[in-house]
Amino acid sequence: MGAHSTDTVRDREIAEEQRHLDTVYRRLEEKLAEAEYILEDAAKRVQVGTPGALAERDAQVYRAGAHLQRLNNEFEDFLFGRIDLQQADAPEEHGIPSQTPLDPSDPAVAETLHIGRLGVLDAEYGPLVIDWRAPAAAPFYRATPLEPGRVIRRRVIRSKGRRVIGVEDDLLRPDLSPTLDGTELAVIGDGALMASLGRARSHSMRDIVSSIQKEQDEVIRAAAAGATLVTGGPGTGKTAVALHRAAFLLYQDRRRYAGGILVVSPTPLLVSYTEGVLPSLGEEGQVAIRAVGSLVDGIEAGRYDTPETARVKGSGRMVQLLRRAARAALEIGAPTELKVFARGQALRLDAGRLKAVRGNVVGSGGTPLNLLRPRARRLLLDALWQEAVRHLPKPQTHAEREQRQDERESFDDYVGDEAPFLDFLDAWWPALTPRRVLASLKQTRHTNRIARRAVTPDEARLLAGSWRHLSERGEGELSAHDVALVDELQLLLGEPARPKAREVDAVDLLSGLDEVTTYADRMARQREREPVERREYAHVIVDEAQDLTPMQWRMIGRRARMATWTIVGDPAQSSWPFPEEAQAAMDEVLSGKPRRRHTLTVNYRNPAEIAEVAAKVLALAAPGTPSPSAVRHVGVEPRFAAVREPEPVAFGAAARAELERLLGEVDGTVAVVVPMDRRAEAAGWTEGLGERVVALGSLEAKGLEYDATVVADPTGIAGESEAGLRVLYVALTRATQRLTVLSGPDDLPDAAGVPALLH
Ligand SMILES: Nc1ncnc2c1ncn2[C@@H]1O[C@H](COP(=O)(O)OP(=O)(O)OP(=O)(O)O)[C@@H](O)[C@H]1O
């Protein structure tokens, strides 16, 4: 009887929400018709009006189009929340309702707000749905029984398409026996929220808009200025929060942030996993999510460096090495003699002279080398001219000086345009590209020669080895660490001159500095015309920040000179071995910006059973770091299995059998995580198992999650680098339901079934 009456109450409440949702959809359909009308109308209209008005109209059409598309795509959970509020103590101000109740002991609900992905107004401009990012929606996420504010009841509404299927309530004022329209307020708890945490995972992340928690909401809505730094263990929602924050910033100040938010992600895998979240929040196109290896246009990092090589490439010492490498690259294969014929004589600059000229061209300034080419041309002509007039007496009178000047000008015109001189210039001051400079470092001897104290001979050898596959021009695949070096080199080199630089350019006749600025100006104008990708952002969000090397921080910093920041990460998951060095690099990039710190404490991904195993590794990997608390129990302990035979075939068979077993246990995705050098092997284990299964190298698992994971060869992962235990910690924290740890003969489990490493 009791159950029956609860069901009736639940049905009644669901029906009530259904009525509201129906009203919302009716209104949305009206808006849809309106949007269609605007689109048609705009298409018909001729192009008149000021550019500003036209742009505004384009924007309107764009918005209407986007709206249309989104409504047609039919939202899941378009409307997901509701709060019932007490009477406010003050009228709302600037659209922000007061959060304090007039009378805290008043049990009556005075106001009900529905919260959804987008704001919807009724025909009288009353709110049918409030955008989740609006200030009025904040209490939905912030209210707690200790600090309820005006909220009496918070409700999460679950729907499928246009049908409401469930509600889940939190009563924030159990002391009140609250009422709504004179009847007792119903409170339904059907576990929808916990169910949603336990749902099967797919290969794309979902938004968390209906269940953002208070500590997360505080990050999402934090002021934009300066830098917001967020730490938290695995599964605490750092990535989710970072993405929701992007949507929030756009909502709050669209003009400022449209097109100007960059999200830097550690791997392309995490980019594709998270890509769908912003569109599901109604934000399409304005936010660029890019892997740290894809920040330089035209390059997609596809190689992995060994941990030893990565250590060198990521280090701030590379700046000095690259500076020298760029200069040295100019000299590789450079001619050692310049000979031209002019004024009836052979003029010659020998190696010593050329060296002196080169020194003068570079001077002490930091002008990018490619921009110095006009100066190189001029100083070479100077040197040749001095040769030409060496035996002539100095001009004495004004007339003589004028005459000499005229001769000089025609000398420049004549010599400077002749093939021998131009060919020489091309070879002596070639247009350098970052790739070409990297390729120059593939010769260990050369690298060693220029390395001097920047890197050790051993490190020079590692670097050279990692670039051996590049062609002379630097064609070939690069690593994510190389991309940061390319970016640094781009700055040191400047844009290479255009190939048709052979025409005489009046600019060349000006003095050095003018040449440089004029050239730069010309390039700038050119850039305006060609739609190249944005290089500066208004806000930069860094995910998995603990992994960035100093060189990567510099690269990101160059895209954020005017930006505000959100930086999320977990030092305990860092695969970079020198946290202090990375911290210093970050400090430099953020210099002077005020910082706001937040910590996230609840693990929403891993069930407690898995979190417990991970905590053991955490204690070894980052002693003293608190584990986030896991909110869910699945009632199944992680499995420890071991393969005693040393043959890889036996290990592979065991891994595959385990994957097959897990596929039967969970509805969603399954991953096997292996040491980086066993990736190819692991790909074989998963062959034919279908789309739900993936094989990942330890570093590729960053940020991802699966229903079930097999962590294969944990000792191998832990031994990969100095940061190995932290990488193992990452691997162990990927699963939402099931975890199997599969060890080899070198780490057999003890009597309790736990491998020694995990003690
Ligand atoms: N408030 C929430 N409601 C529902 N699900 C949540 C909430 N917060 C986080 N989650 C879920 O928890 C999982 C982990 O979130 P996320 O990947 O953002 O964590 P993270 O801190 O970035 O983890 P890691 O450090 O391991 O990369 C995701 O599936 C996310 O959807």
Cα–Cα nearest to 96, from 147, 145, 148, 150: 150
Distance CA 438, CA 417 (A): 32
Distance CA 240, CA 212 (A): 9
CA angle 170, 175, 178 (to 5 degrees): 70
Strands (E), 483-607: 539-542, 564-569, 595-600, 602-607
Minimum-distance ligand 1 atom for the alpha carbon of 734: 26
Q: Going by CA atoms, what residue is nearest to atom 3 of ligand 1? A: 211
According to DSSP, residue 96 is labeled B
Measured from the CB, is residue 705 less than 6 Å from ligand 1?
yes
Measured from the CB, is residue 686 less than 6 Å from ligand 1?
no
Measured from the CB, is residue 543 less than 6 Å from ligand 1?
no
Cα–Cα nearest to 236, from 756, 733, 717, 668: 733
Per-residue tokens: 291: 């892997």
Per-residue tokens: 559: 């895209």
237 annotated binding-site participant: yes
pLDDT at residue 503, as a whole number: 41
Side chain identity, residue 702:
K
31 annotated binding-site participant: no
Measured from the CB, is residue 602 less than 6 Å from ligand 1?
no
Side chain identity, residue 530:
E
Entry field: residues in the chain: 759
Side chain identity, residue 289:
I
Measured from the CB, is residue 244 less than 6 Å from ligand 1?
no
Distance CA 509, CA 416 (A): 11
Measured from the CB, is residue 574 less than 6 Å from ligand 1?
no
Pocket perturbation via mutation, ligand 1, pick of 603, 605, 617, 727 by most ligand atoms within 8 A of CB: 605
| CB 709, CB 734: distance < 8 Å | yes
Minimum-distance ligand 1 atom for the alpha carbon of 206: 31
Q: Going by CA atoms, what residue is nearest to atom 1 of ligand 1? A: 212
- CA–centroid distance, 358 to ligand 1, in Å, is 56
Measured from the CB, is residue 236 less than 6 Å from ligand 1?
yes
Q: Going by CA atoms, what residue is nearest to atom 26 of ligand 1? A: 234
- Do the strands 120-121 and 179-180 form a parallel or antiparallel pair, or are they unpaired? unpaired
Rounded (10°) angle between helices 318-331 and 307-314: 80
The pairs formed by 338-347 with CB atoms below 8 angstroms and a separation of 24 or more are: 338/380, 338/384, 338/421, 338/424, 338/428, 339/420, 340/384, 340/415, 340/418, 340/420, 340/421, 341/420, 342/384, 342/388, 342/411, 342/414, 342/415, 343/388, 343/411, 345/388, 347/384, 347/387, 347/388
Measured from the CB, is residue 197 less than 6 Å from ligand 1?
yes
Pocket perturbation via mutation, ligand 1, pick of 80, 245, 604, 732 by most ligand atoms within 8 A of CB: 604
Minimum-distance ligand 1 atom for the alpha carbon of 703: 27
Strands (E), 331-476: 338-342, 345-349
Helix (H, G, I), strand (E, B) or coil at 257: helix
pLDDT at residue 97, as a whole number: 76
| CB 717, CB 727: distance < 8 Å | yes
Minimum-distance ligand 1 atom for the alpha carbon of 573: 25
Burial classification of residue 739, based on how many CB atoms lie within 10 Å of its CB (0-12 exposed, 13-18 middle, 19 or more buried): buried
Neighbour tally for 586: CB within 10 Å: 22
- CA–centroid distance, 570 to ligand 1, in Å, is 13
pLDDT at residue 554, as a whole number: 96
Q: Going by CA atoms, what residue is nearest to atom 13 of ligand 1? A: 605
Q: Which residues of the chain have pLDDT under 70?
A: 1-6, 39, 42-76, 94-95, 191-193, 259, 496-534, 751-754, 758-759
| Torsion region of 524: left, alpha or beta (phi above 0 gives left; psi -120 to 50 gives alpha) | alpha
Measured from the CB, is residue 216 less than 6 Å from ligand 1?
yes
Minimum-distance ligand 1 atom for the alpha carbon of 240: 18
Q: Going by CA atoms, what residue is nearest to atom 8 of ligand 1? A: 237
According to DSSP, residue 337 is labeled -
Q: Going by CA atoms, what residue is nearest to atom 14 of ligand 1? A: 235
Helix (H, G, I), strand (E, B) or coil at 632: strand
Residue tagged 């932290």 (tokens): 726
Per-residue tokens: 416: 């400077």
Residue 390, CA distances (Å) to 106, 247, 347, 386, 410 in order? 102, 70, 11, 6, 17
- CA–centroid distance, 599 to ligand 1, in Å, is 14
Sign of CA dihedral 574, 575, 579, 584: negative
Measured from the CB, is residue 237 less than 6 Å from ligand 1?
yes
- CA–centroid distance, 201 to ligand 1, in Å, is 12
Beta bridge partners of residue 170, listed in sequence order: 154
pLDDT at residue 759, as a whole number: 64
Q: Going by CA atoms, what residue is nearest to atom 16 of ligand 1? A: 237
Measured from the CB, is residue 217 less than 6 Å from ligand 1?
no
Per-residue tokens: 665: 């246990």
Measured from the CB, is residue 213 less than 6 Å from ligand 1?
yes
Minimum-distance ligand 1 atom for the alpha carbon of 733: 26
444 annotated binding-site participant: no
